């Protein structure tokens, strides 16, 4: 019966959403043209209705609780629908694009991230993609609070990470070694032994590719001369483009790397394997854009994996 239903006060939800979005009650009060005590009281009323705290204090700042993150995620969807309704009634075309919020690990090669996400943009109803780049642990924390639909990374979720999520292998490939034409010509002969003493650009130490390359060097008993270490894969390639050293990238991006950075292939190896994962809170992928990403990766981008 209607009388027994719990009704959500959407004015209270709007005030909460504005504070969370703006980052403070002061900024929200300017947007809403309301006094700060009024907004504080409305948020307190919403918390009483929900029976949960939505904010905690950290010094002078308001920080969303875990429940607050969840409510904010739903509020985004609710007010997005409201804007769509207004637009439709004003005569704009109907049809709401599928929204996909993706976290991309900062160690993920940008060209791989683009190739993985591209199928979501070519659906019959293309997805509206929102990308966030950060350290995997922070992205997984955001995934756990439903702030993200998906995390793309080069490693499965670790056993020490206290997040209930599932790793879906999208594919794997070997790596190619690149350098400017003069460097490639110099070190191509007798590859890979020729890399001993060669100037090399590496990802930072915590990167999966860095560890794999170092194990490969050790197995070959060669010692490249490391001239730079980079967190950002695109910046690493830019230094390689300038002729400062040899660098590695997934073989499936070989054509794009050569074209975009004007470098040559020095050699290839299957002894270093790059693996790429989609991490979600779902054991079985359901989001239509995520399903398209996974299917395209397994069927087209990478060779089929067992």
- pLDDT: is 174 or 136 the higher one? 174
In the chain, what are the domain boundaries? Answer: 2-89, 97-306
Residue range 2-89, CATH number: 1.10.10.10
pLDDT value at residue 189: 93
pLDDT tens digits, 57-94? 887 778 889 888 888 888 887 877 776 666 555 554 45
Span 42-58, average pLDDT = 89
Average pLDDT, the chain: 85
Task: Reduce the secondary structure of the chain to three states and give it as a string.
Answer: CHHHCCCCCHHHHHHHHHHHHHCCHHHHHHHHCCCHHHHHHHHHHHHHHHCCCCEEEECCEEEECHHHHHHHHHHHHHHHHHHHHHHHHCCCCCCCCCEEEEEEECCCCHHHHHHHHHHHHCCCCCCEEEEEEECHHHHHHHHHCCCCCEEEECCCCCCCCCCCCEEEEEEEEEEEEEECHHHHHHHHCCCCHHHCCCEEEEECCCCHHHHHHHHHHHHHCCCCEEEEEECCHHHHHHHHHCCCCEEEEEHHHHHHHHHHHCCEEEEEEEEEEEEEEEEECCCCCCCHHHHHHHHHHHHHHCCCCC
Span 146-162, average pLDDT = 79
CATH of the structural domain 97-306, one choice from 3.40.50.1100, 3.20.20.70, 3.40.190.290, 3.40.50.10490: 3.40.190.290
pLDDT at 235 over 60: yes
Q: Which of 30-34, 133-137, 297-301 has the lowest mean pLDDT?
A: 30-34
Q: How confident is the model at residue 144 (pLDDT cuts 50, 70, 90)?
A: confident
pLDDT value at residue 137: 83
Distance CA 10, CA 237 (A): 49
pLDDT value at residue 6: 59
């Amino acid at each position: 019966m209607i009388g027994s239903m719990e009704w959500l006060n959407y004015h209270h939800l709007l005030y909460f959403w504005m504070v969370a979005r703006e980052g403070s009650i002061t900024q929200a009060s300017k947007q809403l043209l309301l006094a700060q005590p009024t907004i504080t009281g409305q948020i307190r009323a919403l918390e009483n209705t929900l029976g949960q705290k939505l904010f905690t204090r950290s010094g002078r700042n308001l920080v969303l609780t875990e429940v607050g993150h969840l409510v904010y995620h739903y509020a985004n969807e609710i007010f997005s629908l409201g804007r769509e309704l207004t637009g439709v009634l004003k005569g704009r075309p109907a049809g709401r694009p599928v929204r996909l919020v993706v976290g991309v690990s900062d160690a993920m090669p940008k060209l791989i991230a683009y190739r993985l996400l591209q199928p979501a943009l070519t659906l019959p109803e293309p997805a509206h993609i929102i990308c966030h780049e950060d350290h995997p642990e922070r992205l997984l924390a955001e995934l756990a609070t439903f702030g993200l639909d998906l995390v793309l990374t080069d490693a499965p979720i670790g056993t020490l990470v206290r997040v209930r999520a599932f790793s879906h292998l999208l594919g794997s490939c070997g790596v190619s070694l690149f350098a400017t034409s003069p460097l490639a010509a110099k070190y191509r002969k007798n590859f890979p032994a020729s890399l001993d003493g060669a100037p090399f650009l590496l990802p930072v130490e915590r990167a999966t590719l860095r560890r794999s390359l170092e194990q490969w060097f050790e197995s070959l008993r060669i010692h490249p001369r490391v001239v730079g270490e980079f967190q950002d894969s695109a910046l690493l390639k830019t230094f390689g483009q300038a002729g400062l050293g040899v660098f590695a990238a997934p073989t499936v991006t070989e054509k794009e790397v050569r074209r975009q950075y004007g470098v040559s292939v020095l050699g290839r190896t299957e002894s270093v394997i790059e693996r790429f994962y989609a991490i979600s809170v779902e054991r079985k992928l359901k989001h239509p854009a995520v399903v398209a990403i996974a299917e395209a990766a397994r069927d087209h981008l990478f060779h089929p994996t067992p």
